[in-house]
Amino acid sequence: MTSNNPHQIARDLLPYLWPKNAPALRRAVVCSLLCLIAAKALISLVPLIYKALVDHLEGSAATIAAPIGLVLAYGGARLMATVFDELRIALFTRVSGNATRLLGLRVFRQLHQLSLRFHLDRKTGGLARAIDRGTEGISVILSRVLFSLVPIALEVALVCTILWHLFGASFSLVTLATVVVYAGYTIVMTSWRTRFRRLLNDAGAEASSRSIDSLMNYETVKYFGNEEHEAERLDYALRQQEQASVQSQWTFVVLSIGQTFIISAGLVVIMLMAAQGFKDGEMSLGDLVLVNAYLLQLYQPLNFFGLMYREIRQALIDMEDMLKLLRTSAEVADQTDARPLEIKVGGVEFANVNFSYDGRRQILDNISFKIPAGQTVAVVGATGAGKSTLSRLLYRFFDVTGGAIRIDGQDIRNVTQQSLRATIGIVPQDTILFNDTIRYNIAYGRPDATAAEIEAAARSAHIHSFIIGLPDGYETRVGERGLKLSGGEKQRVAIARAVLKRPKIMVFDEATSALDTATEREIQNNLREISRHHTTMIVAHRLSTVVEANEIIVLGAGGIVERGSHAELVERKGQYAAMWKSQASQGGRSHAHAG
């Protein structure tokens, strides 16, 4: 059984099936239901017309006019039943398509609402596969339940009522019993098959994740010559998927054979009863034809019921991960009374900040410092000291576990995340670009920027001359994750993107770590110019990038070890001075190191 509660699923899907503020879609749903009822009523009349035709032809007083009328009625009923059936499909397609679109959009927005921790813990390939399957599952649920199971139930009810009225309870009860046994067997066996299908889904997601993860790390695979190792890892996952697929198919065979046996047994019993009635003179030849026609007419939707029920169960399984995702609460959420951040001068304060990612290891311990408006404060220290964590906390990717971060005196937990992040521009250490043009990636800082503003930002980052030297200029596509650009080129695109955003506060998180010495020196003056117009926090390992900061904070083991200007810290001959001396002695080699 699926772990999802059917009532909960119904509550989740009802707003999409009967959407608010969409009268046209609601009319489409109502018209679809009316077409459904009309189609089933007409198709139920067909055997009755067929019986009347046979009885008329069997009689001695048969005339030409009556058979022609009955034949035309027979053909007309079949035609109109098909017309109404196709109309309800066409009408509901719009409702189903709208629901799938809105749900896909809701999932996409939900993914962006969830915390960084969620995305760090999830496998991208498996997540994408779960969303694709879940979206398809929603479409199946909406269409199959309303226009497959409901029509089958309606048709069974009509047929049983007609048989009871014409031939008594025995025919109706045998028909109903056949349907109930068939449905019960299908439900039980499908529930048994569920775990095999879930194993197949899990194996498929694992194979997809391994494949995507390996291809996304193409260069690393090449560096270590591990192509065969990656192929073996994928082959193992594919073997698990193959085995699960075989098991799933065999369970399907068992289910199908059982369903066919039940239907065949019901047909045999009903036809034996009808044959006996005809022999005893209680039923006419038309009655015999009528019973047979109804049974054959029911056989097709009953078989369809088995297929649809399996699809619905499969859809519920496929929807599990997506529905769990939609019900996942955001770790960092706006308070109900959160207001937009009001920027006056852009001063930043870390007040007694404590933070731990998992509650077991303290990353930051009672950190306090201020970045006065318009000034630059640098944070340095060894790898793992918690430098980059400060920028993540400032952006509210995580909330502090103690203390507070304030901008112009406002606790950032009390303001909306959108207004907070609109105020801050960041150049991260690991720059990831969209698989689009250079123009698009720079303009991402402010999508409504003009071409002149984009080029001005590129000049600020000293990348404009490089771009215009490319055959396609600003329309050059950068490739997946920006792989067509060098590390330094990606970093400069990130700088241009941040400048274009026009933020009040700037964060440079190892902003020049991927640049060579000449390029670093080329943009250092420009970064200093940018910093003069912003409140700036620089996170760095390379100390040459922080020499001119108004204050330098030295982190060690989650706490502040030293603080002061570059000259003061060198004079003090403490940890900073030792780091400065070490990097100075390394010379050019220090420029290749990123903390």
Report which DSSP code applies to 329: P
Q: How confident is the model at residue 358 (pLDDT cuts 50, 70, 90)?
A: confident
The H or E element containing residue 421 is: helix 417-423
The H or E element containing residue 379 is: strand 376-381
**Residue environment code for 253-276, b if the CB has 16+ CB neighbours within 10 A, otherwise e:** eebeebbeebbeebbebbeebbee
Gap between the Cα atoms of 432 and 485, Å rounded: 11
Grouping H, G, I as helix, E, B as strand and the rest as coil, residue 416 is coil
* Secondary structure tally for the chain: helices H, strands E: 19, 10
Return the CATH number of the domain spanning residue range 376-386+430-592: 3.40.50.300
Mean predicted confidence (pLDDT) in 498-523: 76
Provide the token pair at 365: 């311990």
**Residue environment code for 37-47, b if the CB has 16+ CB neighbours within 10 A, otherwise e:** ebbbbbbbbbb
Lowest model confidence (mean pLDDT) among 20-24, 122-126, 129-133, 517-521: 122-126
pLDDT at 23: 86
> What average pLDDT does the structure give for the chain?
82
Q: Which residues pair with 370 in a beta bridge?
A: 349
Provide the token pair at 369: 């410092």
Report which DSSP code applies to 477: B
Mean predicted confidence (pLDDT) in 365-393: 88
pLDDT at 2: 42
**Per-residue pLDDT tens over the stretch 143-183:** 777 777 778 888 888 888 888 988 889 988 998 898 889 88
**Per-residue pLDDT tens over the stretch 110-137:** 877 776 777 666 655 567 777 777 777 7
pLDDT at 595: 36
pLDDT at 40: 86
Gap between the Cα atoms of 539 and 346, Å rounded: 18
Q: How confident is the model at residue 516 (pLDDT cuts 50, 70, 90)?
A: low
pLDDT at 453: 93
Instruction: Measure CA 595 to chain center.
Output: 33
pLDDT at 239: 86
pLDDT at residue 58 tops 70: no
Please choose, from the candidates 399, 400, 381, 401, the residue with its C-alpha nearest in 3D space to the C-alpha of residue 538. 381
Q: How confident is the model at residue 594 (pLDDT cuts 50, 70, 90)?
A: very low
- Residue ranges matching CATH 1.20.1560.10 in the chain: 6-327
Q: Can you name the CATH fold of 6-327?
A: ABC transporter transmembrane region fold (1.20.1560)
**Per-residue pLDDT tens over the stretch 319-344:** 777 777 777 777 788 888 889 999 88
CB burial of residue 233 (10 Å; 0-12, 13-18, 19+): middle
Q: How confident is the model at residue 88 (pLDDT cuts 50, 70, 90)?
A: confident
- Which residues have a Cβ under 8 Å from the Cβ of 49 and sit 6 or more positions away? 70, 73, 74, 77
Please choose, from the candidates 436, 522, 517, the residue with its C-alpha nearest in 3D space to the C-alpha of residue 484. 436
Quickly tell me which residue has 């239901």 as its tokens: 33
Cβ count within 10 A of residue 330 = 13
- Residue ranges matching CATH 3.40.50.300 in the chain: 376-386+430-592
- Which residues have a Cβ under 8 Å from the Cβ of 122 and sit 6 or more positions away? none
* Amino acid identity, position 97: G
Contact in structure between 251 and 196 (CB atoms under 8 Å): yes
Contact in structure between 262 and 305 (CB atoms under 8 Å): no
Q: Which residues pair with 556 in a beta bridge?
A: 559
- Which residues have a Cβ under 8 Å from the Cβ of 238 and sit 6 or more positions away? 207
Grouping H, G, I as helix, E, B as strand and the rest as coil, residue 106 is helix
Please choose, from the candidates 588, 590, 552, the residue with its C-alpha nearest in 3D space to the C-alpha of residue 570. 552
Gap between the Cα atoms of 300 and 162, Å rounded: 18
Q: How confident is the model at residue 515 (pLDDT cuts 50, 70, 90)?
A: low
The H or E element containing residue 22 is: none
